């Protein structure tokens, strides 16, 4: 019955010149509910069970562990919840996280639809992942109006201005976070954003505590499991690794990118550890295992660096791209403690160089083949 209704509505839209421009809105609903029946008109043809819709759904499934734990951790970190049982903490967190998702999908979906109507193209499923990622990259105390402005910036400036899904240079979710980070730094850094203060109480994230030399210590296992303040989706490395397993098994995420982000981080942190005796900078003493569980490193490595659009596309390029991210995040964290997080800036920096990396790899292969042919 639903299929017949959608087909009848589509016929009426396509038969009316005034309504035809709104066909992308109908197409978005149809694609969301059913698999597409679009057939490729010209060769080459590829038969595969995976498409953009299934790819995005798998990424969302991989994000669910971080969503559920992050929602719980918002309540767990709040001084308002005295009895730290799972149900109370999760319900408290849901009251904060759910409005954030409603705002992001409402505002972001509106601008996605607006650009689809103006350009006459379909609404891509890419925003499903972008909309799911944006709240997870934010502290739970960010005002909703700021979240709405950041979402508009991420969708319009981060993606639509380049032509939409598949054409963006930078990761749209990270673009939204970067906008808030530089436009409203007091809401994104320091110790106040991470926990809603009650009677003046607040806490610092592990990276902030270390970079500011605060007398606050966190156990490594607590940081691995996620019982620490931080952005909603970044705290639990364990939940992130579960998502990484899903992405790797389904081959949605690049293992080369993840592996070389780790290798870049490990090698750079070991190198900077040798400079500890020459400086009073406490960040230089961080071991690679601490970098791994602190801040947004694991979240960025698994869900941001592996973005198939803004990352490198060649196999060797992904290795160079991943290593660059791992190198830059440690350099930013340790050399400039004013930005103790570093992962966001490292990925955006690598996004900018990803096309150049691929171009260099491609030209190298062309030159090698030219030399072989000349011989």
Rounded to an integer, what distance in angstroms lies between the CA atom of residue 272 and that of residue 287?
Answer: 9
Range scoring the smallest mean pLDDT among 135-144, 282-291, 311-320: 282-291
Rounded to an integer, what distance in angstroms lies between the CA atom of residue 277 and that of residue 148?
Answer: 46
Report the pLDDT averaged over residues 226-239: 90
Which pLDDT tens digit goes with each residue over 255-288? Answer: 999 999 999 999 999 999 988 888 887 788 888 9
Cis peptide before 44, with omega less than 30 degrees from 0? yes
The pLDDT score that the predictor gives to residue 342 is: 85
Position 28 pLDDT exceeds 70: no
Strand partners, 198: 201
Backbone angles phi and psi of 198, in degrees to 5: -125, 120
* 145 compared with 11, residue with greater pLDDT: 145
The pLDDT score that the predictor gives to residue 282 is: 79
Q: To which H or E segment does residue 178 belong? A: helix 172-183
Domain edges within the chain: 19-34+51-252, 254-361
Position 60 pLDDT exceeds 60: yes
In angstroms, how far is the first alpha carbon of the chain from the final one?
67
Which pLDDT tens digit goes with each residue over 175-192? Answer: 999 999 888 887 777 655
The pLDDT score that the predictor gives to residue 279 is: 80
* 110 compared with 35, residue with greater pLDDT: 110
Range scoring the smallest mean pLDDT among 43-52, 83-92, 289-298, 328-337: 43-52
């Amino acid at each position: 019955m639903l299929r017949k209704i959608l087909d009848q509505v589509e016929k009426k839209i396509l038969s009316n010149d005034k309504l035809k421009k709104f066909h992308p809105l109908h197409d978005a609903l149809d694609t969301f509910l059913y698999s597409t029946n679009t057939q490729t008109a010209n060769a080459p043809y590829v038969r595969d069970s995976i498409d953009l819709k299934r790819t995005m759904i798998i990424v969302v499934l991989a994000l669910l562990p971080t969503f559920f734990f992050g929602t719980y951790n918002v309540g767990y970190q709040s001084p308002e919840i005295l009895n730290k049982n799972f149900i109370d903490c999760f319900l408290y967190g849901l009251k904060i996280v759910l409005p954030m998702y409603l705002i992001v999908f409402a505002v972001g979906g509106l601008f996605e639809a607006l650009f689809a109507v103006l350009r006459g193209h379909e609404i891509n499923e890419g925003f499903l992942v972008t909309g799911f990622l944006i709240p997870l990259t934010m502290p739970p105390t960010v005002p909703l109006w700021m979240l709405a402005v950041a979402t508009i910036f991420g969708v319009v400036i981060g993606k639509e201005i380049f032509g939409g899904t598949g054409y963006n240079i930078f990761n749209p979710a990270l673009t939204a976070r970067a906008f808030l980070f530089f436009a409203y730094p007091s809401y994104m850094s320091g110790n106040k954003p991470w926990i809603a203060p009650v009677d003046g109480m607040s806490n610092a994230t592990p990276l902030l505590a270390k970079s500011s030399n605060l007398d606050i210590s966190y156990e490594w296992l607590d940081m691995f499991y996620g019982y620490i303040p931080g952005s909603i989706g970044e705290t639990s490395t364990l939940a992130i690794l579960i998502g990484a397993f899903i992405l790797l098994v389904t081959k949605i995420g690049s293992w080369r990118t993840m592996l070389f982000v780790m290798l870049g981080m490990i090698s750079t942190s070991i190198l900077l550890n040798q400079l500890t005796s020459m400086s009073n900078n406490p960040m230089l003493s961080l071991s690679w295992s601490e970098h791994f569980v602190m801040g947004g490193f694991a979240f960025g490595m698994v869900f941001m660096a592996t973005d198939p659009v803004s990352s490198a596309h060649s196999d060797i390029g992904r290795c160079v791209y991943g290593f660059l991210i791992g190198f830059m995040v440690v350099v930013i964290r340790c050399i400039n403690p004013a930005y103790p997080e570093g992962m966001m800036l490292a990925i955006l920096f690598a996004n900018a160089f990803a096309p150049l990396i691929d171009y260099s790899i491609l030209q190298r292969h062309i030159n090698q083949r030219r030399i072989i042919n000349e011989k």
